[in-house]
Amino acid sequence: MNHPSLKQIEAVVFDWAGTTVDFGCFAPVQAFVEVFKQYGVEPTMEEVREPMGMLKIDHIRTMLKMPRIHQCWVEKYGKEPGEEEAQQLFSIFEEKLLSILHLYADPKPGVVETVNALKEKGIRIGSTTGYTDKMMEIIIPITREKGYEPECWFSPDSTGQKGRPYPYMIFRNMETLGIDDVRKVLKVGDTASDIKEGKHAGVWSAGVIVGSSEMGLTEEEYEALSPEEKEAKCKETEEKFRKAGADIVFRTLEELKVALI
């Protein structure tokens, strides 16, 4: 797992839901499903998870353009969904998500230990997210209390609403942490849009498999799998990350810790 180029890493920029908190990334999934159902359109799990990691309004815009959802909407309402509909859905989505976020803010297994070990080695810790500042204000105090707090974090609110796959949140982290070269930075996430964000910034881009949105299982569901099923699921998820352009794929954050220390 030791990647020769990782020895030059000076900063790790983590994603949030599905990467460092909320095993399986279920808070936004639940909110997206409920919002679309409220409008009489029931999305599949695949449809909900495909744009995961994006700025949330962009996520809704993307879902409304998906052929099946688009068709269902036209059949139900007799017109194509546009920006007005996207904004209506988003306002309900935001309300739903804000009401449940505190239930999905626990750090994933190994996060606190991994981050503390990286900090001890002098590696700086930043983060980017598809959540808004308002959403992060709920999450940050909970993770801080449970032992996880990056040195800085940036949402699309800090980059003129240009979230993933734009690279600007990563650049804000580099600026704040004082990192002078993109090749000294490792971006770690759990979705294809996380990987693309890293690639577009020119930093090392890594996916973390277990507990990811791409895998889409709860901790209980994952632990209930046989060793063979776990292996198959992990390989399938790794393929998705590789397809998105990942330089490195880790099974867990403990594997990342071993690779960097």
Catalytic residues: 15, 56
What residue has token string 């004082």? Answer: 178
User: CA–CA separation, 236 vs 228, rounded Å?
Assistant: 12
User: CA–CA separation, 36 vs 43, rounded Å?
Assistant: 7
17 labelled as ligand-binding?
Answer: yes
Q: How many residues does the chain have?
A: 261
User: CA–CA separation, 58 vs 43, rounded Å?
Assistant: 16
Secondary structure (3-state) at 247: coil
105 labelled as ligand-binding?
Answer: no
Secondary structure (3-state) at 147: coil
15 labelled as ligand-binding?
Answer: yes
At 254, list the tokens: 């403990």
Q: Are 24 and 109 in contact (CB under 8 A)?
A: no
Which stretches of 191-247 are assigned E, i.e. beta strand? 204-208
Q: Are 187 and 197 in contact (CB under 8 A)?
A: yes
- In the annotated binding site, the residues are 15, 17, 190
- In the annotated binding site for Mg(2+), the residues are 15, 17, 190
